Amino acid sequence: MYLSTRIKYSPVQAQKVVQSLSGFLRPSTPSWQRQYHDESFGFRKRKEYVFPDYTEAQLENRHRNAPLLRYVDSMRTHGHRAARIDPLDLIHREEVGALNPARYGLVDPNQKYNVDGILWTKPIEGKTIDRAGSKEEWWTLKEIERHLRSVYIGRIAHEYMHSPSKTERLWFSHLLESESLPSSAESRLLSTFDHDQKRHIHGLLARSEVFDNFLQLKFPNLKRYGLEGGESMLPALDSLFASASEAGVEHIILAMPHRGRLNLLTGLLEYSPAGMFHKVRGGSELPEEYGGEGDVLSHLISSPVLDYGHSRPVKVSLLPNPSHLEAVNPVALGKTRAKQFSLLKTSPENCTLGDKAMCVQLHGDASFTGQGIVMEGLGLSNLPHFTSGGSVHVVVDNNIGYTTPASNARSSLYCSDVGKMINAPVLHVNGDHPEDVVRAMEIAFKYRQYFRKDIIVDLLVYRRCHNELDLPNLTSPLMYEKINSRRSVPQLYEQKLIAEQALTEKDITDLRSSYKAHLESELAKTPSYEPTQTVLGGRWSSMVWPTGKDADFNPKTGVEIDTLKKVGEASVQVPGGFSVHPKLQRHVKSRLQSISTGSGVDWATAEALAFGSLMLEGCDVRISGQDVGRGTFSHRHAMLVDQTTEGVVVPLNDELKADGKLELANSSLSEMAVLGFEYGASWERPNLLPIWEAQFGDFFNGAQVIIDTYVSSSESKWLMQSGLVIALPHGLDGAGPEHSSSRIERFLQLTNDRYESDGHPANVNMHVVFPTTPAQYFHLLRRQIRRNFRKPLAIASPKSLLRLSAAASSLSDMQPGTSFQPVLADPLVDPSEVQRVVLLSGKLYYELIKERKDRGLDDKVAFIRIEELSPFPFEELGEVLQKYTNAEEWYYVQEEPRNQGAYLHVNARIGGVLEKVGVLERLVYVGRKESALPAPGIGKLYKQQQQEIMDATFRGL
């Protein structure tokens, strides 16, 4: 924030003004946001930014030379518009009037100005400028202009002046203009490259080009999404990995799309070229014994440990990703944060997120602009329960998306402009100049390390073609005329190094020939190649593969009554002096009463008992979503807010004192990014119970891509297990088309559930359940952790049942010897007296048993609840149904329309069970007719339809 030339301040007054503005703009506690005191587990105070402010003399000089200050700031703000960042020189660049010093009355090139406090200069005559004090330094206008143009109008363009943080703006101007920072702990930027460094950069570029040419020669019909034109991506990442290793980062989680993926895998990430050629020729990337179905070539993964010669090597994990561009971003964020979860439990408060793990995301320019998941992911970057210490984003910017030119692909000047929603700085760099690319990556990493926030590097390159079977000049003839007439990036760099005598022609020929020979050798190994993959290493070493003989599908989930009581009491205890909302006293009293009597345990209490008992066993729990601390239906209250201070406590953490921790992550209003985040966390830690709770069941459809491409298919595609729980409040209750249905039919359609039983436990891709009692929910949550393998779990969770007394459980339903029951028989009838057996799932059960009692038909109708829909419980259902020897009619009832709900999934399967137990009658469907809506929006129509279901269920009895 700078002083106006129209206001006359004394130096002391000016200093006070700047100090007041500095307090307003402190990035650690932005005062333009209302501060909510949620410092519960998982929260870490943002790093404090220490940076020297202007001295009084500098403020006076800025005031005295206001025209010069305006000119310098204009160069910092608008220099990017004139920078030489486009390798094809196709981006229209007009004359930027703001960069002309004459606009500010600066016309004499030989006029000298004191630049202290206005321009941060390089050391002069071997003496470093004293930043802490004030020192006059006189430069001519010509020298000032030359220096600013060398910094801001080169092959790197810097956008940072949009930041509301004065500290960040000062940091950048110091670093860029003087190539140093005030802190002695910061090393200077690498201003020159020695011959070894240049040869290393060249090796990465040249091998990438040889690799693409080799694939084109050997497999001319292969879509490989080569890196031609964007080869500078490899030295960019190599530089970033090296900087991270030197800084002590031990884990890098890398997310990227398809372009250049094969080059990165073989060029940097130590993926076997023989394995890649094996895949190209139709082989599997997965060991046969796991039964996976695999994925396409451009989704291959690798997790090497790279040694850059520092004290500790760095592990780089390239995540598997779907073809839905950018969907991998939040998955990478979640996995990165989960790597640091144990630090949140054990490290001192001054331990900063991002010290040991870093997320790196690669993007394409069209997808970075066009995909909403990018905005959602950026929105998580600085949230207290989602930040992982800052991500480095690299946009491989082709200025075209398949056949769509940039003018049709975005409404903004740059593809990176979406990052300005979080005030992320942007470095645009010309990909034709690899050394400038490396320099930009150094700056990006320094920023990330200092501020632990996201930064974007916009790497402007070009693309020979979208894929190798494409003819891009059909739609972009002028662009591709220019591309086809120019030398490649590696060849241009070779020219430069030959001129600098860093390389010879023989060096180049030998390197290229050697790498081509290596690829030929790897290709020759293809016929005998056998894929290997460690699927259960590291933190997963205690897990087993679900098809193995040691897999435990039904572990013990019951808990001692004394332990349950201890957890239940702790879950509503608060420290002395803590002011609980008066209306929550009833919540506390009700819970303590149910724990004391052992009966009337509601859903929220059962959930707390599951969480707390797992925490006592050393497991961590994380539940995220909109309003999860309180609960959408004001039922959970796992997080309590002091009514006088807005301070927060989580009683299960504060009072239980368990080894495990509960993290309550009230999220942004995002579904896709938050679900992806929790899914990524589930990949990292098998001893974490990660839960994403939708505000209403149908909210998941905003995250359908994550469910389709990750949750339902990762085990089969990539051999990746996940214990994610998706809780979806479900139930028709007159609320209208939205907020009624969790679209359970979609989840069931995505399962690979079998249609007939072979007598063995089914290895389904995910479990889909519809529990009707708190005890069932308790056992489901504990089963997720107690099993020795992991499966995603989708729960059609309750709304109206949350406080329904008829749906309550007792502590005895959760004691040792009890477990989740996939099928619940009717406890109120004598099977030998029953004439009609009704099978169903969900909360409709409670409406039907009430209707049955009102009609006096308790001895004629039995209601059998199918609690687990996938895997379908063939044996358990058969054992129950065979008891009804005198039944004459067999119904399936649901409140959802016939084309929705579970009916289409269970119909044939129930029919097979009935046939097996000797029932020849046809299963009769009762429920709403086919509909385009999950539920009607007219109240009278809803009640009429609901009554028709009741009448049809009991008709003829």
Structure tokens at 610: 């599951």
* Range ranked top by mean pLDDT from 22-31, 631-640, 946-955: 946-955
Confidence of residue 489 (pLDDT cuts 50, 70, 90): very high
pLDDT for 466 equals: 60
- Rg (C-alpha) for the chain, rounded Å, is 32
pLDDT for 467 equals: 62
DSSP string, 403-463: TEEHHHH-SSSSGGGGGGGGT--EEEEETT-HHHHHHHHHHHHHHHHHH---EEEEEE---
DSSP letter assigned to residue 703: G
CB 571 within 8 A of CB 612: yes
In this structure, which long-range contacts are made by residues 778-781, counting pairs with CB atoms below 8 Å and at least 24 apart in sequence? 778/557, 778/606, 778/607, 778/609, 778/610, 778/809, 778/813, 778/814, 779/557, 779/558, 779/814, 779/818, 779/819, 779/820, 780/820, 781/607, 781/610, 781/611, 781/614, 781/689, 781/725
Is the pLDDT score of 18 beyond 60?
no
Burial class (CB in 10 A: 0-12, 13-18, 19+), 932: exposed
Higher pLDDT, 771 or 19: 771
The residue-averaged pLDDT of 108-121 equals: 93
pLDDT for 119 equals: 93
Average the pLDDT over each of 183-192, 324-333, 409-418 and give the range with the smallest value.
183-192
Is the pLDDT score of 24 beyond 50?
no
| Per-residue pLDDT tens digits for 637-676 | 999 999 999 889 999 999 999 999 999 999 999 999 999 9
Is the pLDDT score of 8 beyond 60?
no
State the Cα–Cα distance between residues 226 and 261, nearest whole angstrom.
Answer: 8
Averaged pLDDT of the chain: 90
Is the pLDDT score of 520 beyond 90?
yes
- Pairing type for strands 648-649 and 640-641 reads antiparallel
Confidence of residue 307 (pLDDT cuts 50, 70, 90): very high
Confidence of residue 188 (pLDDT cuts 50, 70, 90): very low
State the Cα–Cα distance between residues 302 and 821, nearest whole angstrom.
Answer: 40
pLDDT for 185 equals: 43
Tokens 């030398």 appear where?
Answer: 487
Q: Does the bond joining 822 to the residue before it have cis omega, within 30 degrees of 0? A: no
DSSP letter assigned to residue 357: E
Residues near 317 by beta carbon (within 8 Å), at least 6 away in sequence? 251, 252, 253, 254, 301, 303, 335
Is the pLDDT score of 853 beyond 50?
yes
The residue-averaged pLDDT of 7-35 equals: 42
- Helix/strand/coil for 689: strand
Confidence of residue 187 (pLDDT cuts 50, 70, 90): very low
Q: Euclidean distance between the first and final Cα of the chain, in Å?
A: 81
Angle value at C-alpha 261, between 310 and 422, nearest 5 degrees: 75
% of the chain surpassing 70 pLDDT: 93
State the Cα–Cα distance between residues 684 and 662, nearest whole angstrom.
Answer: 17
pLDDT for 390 equals: 96
Which phi and psi (to 5°) does residue 302 adopt? -160, 150
CB 447 within 8 A of CB 171: yes
| Per-residue pLDDT tens digits for 524-579 | 999 999 998 778 988 999 999 999 999 999 999 999 999 999 999 999 999 988 99
- Number of C-beta neighbours around residue 936 at 10 A: 20
pLDDT for 184 equals: 41
Maximum pairwise Cα distance, the chain:
108
pLDDT for 468 equals: 63
State the Cα–Cα distance between residues 178 and 189, nearest whole angstrom.
Answer: 9
Confidence of residue 251 (pLDDT cuts 50, 70, 90): very high
Is the pLDDT score of 849 beyond 60?
yes
pLDDT for 484 equals: 81
State the Cα–Cα distance between residues 741 and 749, nearest whole angstrom.
Answer: 15
pLDDT for 473 equals: 72
Tokens 């039995």 appear where?
Answer: 862
Q: Any idea of the CA torsion for 421, 427, 428, 429, to the nearest 10 degrees?
A: -160
Higher pLDDT, 121 or 412: 412
The residue-averaged pLDDT of 42-59 equals: 81
pLDDT for 181 equals: 62
CA 934, distance to chain mean position in Å, is 30
pLDDT for 297 equals: 92
pLDDT for 3 equals: 28
- Helix/strand/coil for 33: coil
Q: Which residues of 768-779 are buried (b: 16+ CB within 10 A; e: fewer)?
A: bbbbbbbbbbbb
| Per-residue pLDDT tens digits for 557-569 | 999 999 999 999 9
Confidence of residue 28 (pLDDT cuts 50, 70, 90): very low
| Per-residue pLDDT tens digits for 791-838 | 999 999 999 999 999 999 999 999 999 999 999 999 999 999 999 999
% of the chain surpassing 90 pLDDT: 79
Tokens 């013990």 appear where?
Answer: 556
The residue-averaged pLDDT of 677-698 equals: 95
- Helix/strand/coil for 142: helix
State the Cα–Cα distance between residues 692 and 918, nearest whole angstrom.
Answer: 42
State the Cα–Cα distance between residues 439 and 240, nearest whole angstrom.
Answer: 10
Instruction: Read off the pTM.
Output: 0.92
In terms of Cα–Cα distance, which of 636, 657, 649, 652 is closest to 576? 649
Is the pLDDT score of 122 beyond 70?
no
The residue-averaged pLDDT of 195-209 equals: 96
State the Cα–Cα distance between residues 261 and 224, nearest whole angstrom.
Answer: 9
Average the pLDDT over each of 188-192, 243-247, 875-879 and give the range with the smallest value.
188-192
